[in-house]
Amino acid sequence: MRINDFRLSEHFNLREFQCPCCHTARVHPRLVRMLESLREEWGDPLFLTSGYRCVSHNREVGGVEGSLHILGQAADVVVYGPKQPRFVQLARQEGFTSILPDYERNYVHLGIRNE
Ligand SMILES: [Zn+2]
Ligand SMILES: [Zn+2]
């Protein structure tokens, strides 16, 4: 059995959120619910390039200190640059509070802050 191979929702598995360096996985349930709902609206699969990051991995990839990735409250989703405006609009409607599109690298950072 592969560690973290665990279905979280219809379209997401815990493995997709695990840290690439240590395979630690931490994910906020609300983040999963919101990604699932966004996926429905978007209509296409969402591929994550980054979910949870341990502190050292976050440093390695140049993530900001206190990044929501360290808390399991953010995911980076592959979205082709020209399609990002529509995606960002849907993400905003869904209630994501941290939305950072990267046009050049074809991904959008989605995060939820603590309430
Ligand atoms: Zn790690
Ligand atoms: Zn990110």
Q: What is the pLDDT of residues 46-60, one digit of tens each?
A: 999 999 999 999 999
Q: How confident is the model at residue 115 (pLDDT cuts 50, 70, 90)?
A: low
Give pLDDT tens digits for 2-27: 889 999 999 999 999 999 999 999 99
Give pLDDT tens digits for 68-96: 999 999 999 999 999 999 999 999 999 99
Q: How confident is the model at residue 34 (pLDDT cuts 50, 70, 90)?
A: very high
Q: 44 in a domain, yes or no?
A: yes
| Ligand approaching nearest to the C-alpha of 68 | 2
Q: Provide the CATH number for the domain around residue 57.
A: 3.30.1380.10
Q: 18 in a domain, yes or no?
A: yes
Q: 49 in a domain, yes or no?
A: yes
| Ligand approaching nearest to the C-alpha of 48 | 2
Q: 2 in a domain, yes or no?
A: no
pLDDT at 1 over 70: no
d(CA 50, CA 40): 20
Q: What domain count does the chain have?
A: 1
Statement: the pTM of the whole predicted model exceeds 0.75: yes
Q: 31 in a domain, yes or no?
A: yes
Q: 52 in a domain, yes or no?
A: yes
Q: How far is CA 80 from the centre of its chain?
A: 15
C-alpha 99 to ligand 1 mean position (Å): 23
Q: 81 in a domain, yes or no?
A: yes
Q: 102 in a domain, yes or no?
A: yes
C-alpha 66 to ligand 1 mean position (Å): 15
Domain that holds residue 94: 14-111
